[in-house]
Amino acid sequence: MKIIADTHAHTLVSGHAYSTIREMAQFGAKNGLEYLALTEHGPKMTGSCQDIYFMNFKVIPREMYGINLLLGIELNILNADGEVDLPEPLLKKMDISIASIHTPPCFSDEFTIENITNAYVNVMKNPYVNIIGHPDDGRMPLDYEKLVKAAKETGTLLEVNNSSLHPLSFRANAKENYKVMLDLCKQYEVPITTGTDAHMDVEAGRFESTQELLKECDFPEELVVTTNFEKLKPYINLYKQESAAR
């Protein structure tokens, strides 16, 4: 299948990523993307940008090198209650938003199966959270059945994260965990999105490991929203707000 959108990538301002917006767009175009989301880490991540960064997206052209850019955030889920690190008036203005759990100090509760599962289920109730980022890390155990059912109920996308599948990834057992998640997604007909989580331009839009996994799981193309922008649109803030304003 051909993936035309990358819903998760970072630039310099995330503090541990190494390319500019222009470089990311250039490589995204070269790697065959039509849509690239730049989703910087939320303020709670050490070295990332503050609220003011997310307030000035109006200055950034939404089309560069022939591809469309979506400007958003990868929120930190702060606790089992599903609180996040951007105030709602600002969050609702993001083109796209991902919510993820990262290691402390980003997440204040213990990594138990109850806390992690509740954190995801609760954050999905937030209408401005579009995607759950990398729900794949064995260090943060979770109940995949509850995750997939909540995604279906709330219309939230679950991400397959290409970086987690890299052999050098610090996330544990991602591939095995994704197999469990993808089986349940098939069973309950829950769509997924694809994010490279690129922290460097050369990775933007490169989905080799994701493609391999989807093939191995015989995962249906209809449930991969990033093969056609019309499928992705209804899930993201930008479009949700356009249709609400009509």
Q: Which residues bind Zn ion (CB under 5 A)?
A: 100
Q: In Å, how far are 117, 199, 213 from 71, measured between CA atoms?
A: 27, 15, 27
| Closest CB 199 distance from Zn ion, rounded Å | 6
Would you call 18 exposed, middle or buried from its count of C-beta atoms within 10 A (0-12, 13-18, 19+)?
A: middle
User: d(Cα 223, Cα 23) in Å, to the nearest integer?
Assistant: 30
| Closest CB 178 distance from Zn ion, rounded Å | 15
| Closest CB 8 distance from Zn ion, rounded Å | 8
> Nearer Cβ to Zn ion, position 100 or 118?
100
Q: What is the number of the residue whose Cβ is closest to Zn ion?
A: 100
| Closest CB 243 distance from Zn ion, rounded Å | 28
> Nearer Cβ to Zn ion, position 16 or 62?
16
> Nearer Cβ to Zn ion, position 108 or 243?
108
CB 186 within 8 A of CB 219: yes
DSSP secondary structure string, 100-137? Answer: E--STTS--S---HHHHHHHHHHHTTSTT--EE--TT-
| Closest CB 16 distance from Zn ion, rounded Å | 6
Residues contacting residue 58 through CB under 8 Å, at least 6 positions apart:
none
> Nearer Cβ to Zn ion, position 100 or 122?
100
Q: Are strands 35-41 and 131-132 parallel, antiparallel or unpaired?
A: unpaired
> Nearer Cβ to Zn ion, position 100 or 226?
100
Token pair for 70: 């979506």
| Closest CB 220 distance from Zn ion, rounded Å | 26
> Nearer Cβ to Zn ion, position 31 or 196?
196
Q: In Å, how far are 45, 52, 118, 165, 189 from 197, measured between CA atoms?
A: 15, 23, 24, 11, 24
